[in-house]
A and B are shown apart, each in its own frame.
Chain A
Amino acid sequence: MFRVALKMLVGDSARFFGIVMGVTLACFVIAQQGSIFIGIMGRTTALINDTTYPDIWVMDPKVQYIDDTKPLQDTQLYRVRGVEGVAWAGRLYKGMIRARMENGTFQNCNLIGIEDSTLVGGPPAMVEGTVGELRRADAVIVDEAGATTRLARRTGNPEDAPIPLAVGDTLELNDRRAVVVGISKGTRTFQSQPMIYTTYSRAVSFAPKERKSLSFVLVGVKPGLDAQEVCKRIAEQTGLAAYTRAQFRWVTVEYYLKYTGIPINFGLAVGLGFLIGTVITGFMFYSFTLDNLRFLGTLKAMGTGDVKLLWMILMQALVVGLLGFGIGVGLASLVGWLNRGSALAFLLPWQLVVVAGAAVVVICMLSAMLSMRRVILLEPAVVFKG
């Protein structure tokens, strides 16, 4: 009987297509908007993800997220180093700086100063040059996205393609000369501003003078110790906030979720996609069932039980759900793939695929339930009414 149900479904090709498109639309919007949301959220924590070595980030307790730096006194580094369980600790400067390029234009950039001696906190990967070259005089490393876009040189002719910033080029950072010694590759940040890496002491000298300049203390935990336990000790002994990488990521994401309109905007888009998909699918599936009510009544009169009819409807709903889910997620993935390397923040983790699948199941169940109700209430005697 399931084959009969399947043929009833696909035989009405126009309606079948419409129902599948309804599910596809919902699934696509959920997966695509969800992916962009997750991509954006991922970018808010780009620096945390890209700074691979430290187990713990230590900061002022009032810091709410990665870009909300509240500088500490440099002496805090030594207090952290004195906590039991800390294998090593290094300084990290994070601030904004205005870069003046050779042609005289300005560009705001993220300036990251990493520990002079160990160079811990540097970029995760290099396209050109090495992190070690930061030890050269006036050396900076610029991220590839910044070098090829905002820091690229433009000739006077608008038709000419911009010339990417390259190793050997110079910049002016707060009236101080900086020489590009490497091009790094990292995750785009939320603000999408170029990332300029240099040593901590040089970053402090580039940056406008402030009484305190230490943004974060990066900490490595001794082998075999629990990072959370060490965080607790650091907080207790220094009065600073100490988070594991995962905790700091969540602190940052939580800030954006709570204090920005991003979740509402994306939530609305996802909700709208779900709602529209449910309405389209539900309406078309219900109307498909209504159109087939005479035949379902015939099957019922001829001896098909309610349970079997309900299974048939459920199977029809699941088939359209499965197809819509596959096409929807496929299309969303295609959008992400086509925009790979572009400025689009797109991340489609398996968890989101599961969420989209669950939404499709809900849509199909809601649609099927409407139809099931009609079938249960259907009197088989209807078959004799003309």
Chain B
Amino acid sequence: MTTTALPTSAPLDVPINREGIAVVCRGVTKTYGTGQAAVRALRGVDLLIHSGELMMLVGPSGCGKTSLISVIAGVLDRDDGECTVFGEDFAKMKPHQRTAFRGRTIGFVFQAFNLIPTLTIAENVAVPLLINGWSMHKAVQEARGILDQVGIGDRYRDIPARLSGGQQQRVAIARALVHKPRLIVCDEPTSALDHETGERVMDLLKTAAVGKDRSLVVVTHDNRIFQFADRIAKMDDGRVMGIVSDVKEL
């Protein structure tokens, strides 16, 4: 197993070189509930994600993967520790700043696609642009360009229900890409897809979503797609137990 040189044991006040780093998590903790019903989902997570990297978070159910990407994406408050995304700390932002930062900086791909069923494909893809203040007309034009890139440009007028699972996930990827976010978080993007479609989706994600200044974090159980990762963080019991860069080392 090759473990990267993470400042896992470094105290929070020890500075690290953030050049080329997309995400820094140090000592991140999160507990749901209180008292005897408390569940410690994250027990001090240390993790660095580099710019231009596809990082996968793997591990058994309940190990804290989803909690970790929720914290990274700024949709869940951590209890303790440090977590910055491109140098910005959600905890130090006001709620509206956090929302705006998410809208500009982060793209989302969900397990269940979460496409709005009553909007057309193009309108669904245009949503992040609309959130960022684009007009519907311009946003849909832009969305059509991205849909062409993911190979379903001809279906832009359809509603999601008319598409297959693989096509819907392509739309979701297009939606995550359209506003050119610097970090894309994907939650089980292939779990609802068959093997072949899952591979195609991952291939698309890898080629379209990972770039020089853009990183991808993928939470998955699906060992068939591990090969697409630049690095894989193994999680268990609310911690990152190790990081490998070769799937064979898992």
Contact = CB atoms under 8 A, between A and B. Distances in A.
A304 interface: yes
Contacts of B69: 384
B40 interface: no
A181 B111 CA distance: 88
A386 interface: yes
B117 A383 contact: no
Contacts of B110: 298, 383-384
B108 interface: yes
Interface in B101-158: 101-104, 106, 108, 110-112, 114, 116-119, 123, 127-128, 130-132, 136
Interface in A360-386: 379-381, 383-386
A258 to B, nearest CB: 53
Contacts of B6: none
A301 interface: yes
A7 B108 contact: no
B115 to A, nearest CB: 8
Interface string A10-43: 1110000000000000000000000000000000
Contact of A4 (B99, B100, B130, B187): B130
B8 interface: no
Interface in B49-69: 66, 69
A381 B103 contact: no
A386 B114 contact: no
A305 interface: yes
A304 B128 CA distance: 9
Contact of A384 (B102, B118, B187): B187
A299 B102 CA distance: 11
A7 B120 CA distance: 10
B69 to A, nearest CB: 7
A295 B114 contact: yes
Contacts of A302: 102-103, 106, 108, 127-128, 131
Interface in A281-306: 294-295, 298-306
B100 A303 contact: yes
Interface in B178-198: 187
B114 A383 contact: yes
B104 A303 contact: yes
B96 interface: yes
A3 interface: yes
B245 interface: no
Interface in B63-107: 66, 69-70, 73, 75-76, 95-96, 99-104, 106
Interface string B26-61: 000000000000000000000000000000000000
Interface string A195-237: 0000000000000000000000000000000000000000000
Nearest to A307: B96
Interface residues of B, number: 32
Contacts of A381: 70, 75-76
Contact of B131 (A3, A294, A303, A383): A303
B112 A384 contact: no
Contacts of B114: 294-295, 298, 383
B66 A385 contact: yes
A35 B103 CA distance: 51
A3 B136 contact: yes
B108 A301 contact: yes
Interface string A296-335: 0011111111100000000000000000000000000000
Contacts of B103: 302-304
Contacts of B127: 4, 299, 302
A177 B34 CA distance: 96
B66 A299 contact: no
Contacts of B66: 384-385
B75 A384 contact: yes
B131 A1 contact: yes
Contact of B116 (A8, A305, A385): A8
Contacts of A4: 116, 119, 123, 127, 130
Residue among B101, B103, B118 with max Cβ neighbours from chain A (10 Å): B118
A304 B118 contact: no
Given A4-B116, A11-B119, A383-B114, A301 B102 contact: yes
Nearest to B130: A1
A300 B96 CA distance: 11
Contacts of A385: 66
Contacts of B108: 298, 301-302, 383
Given A301-B108, A386-B112, 18 more contacts: A1-B131, A4-B123, A8-B118, A295-B114, A298-B116, A299-B131, A300-B99, A302-B131, A303-B101, A303-B104, A303-B132, A305-B96, A305-B99, A379-B76, A380-B75, A383-B75, A383-B187, A384-B75
Interface of A: 1, 3-4, 7-8, 10-12, 294-295, 298-306, 379-381, 383-386
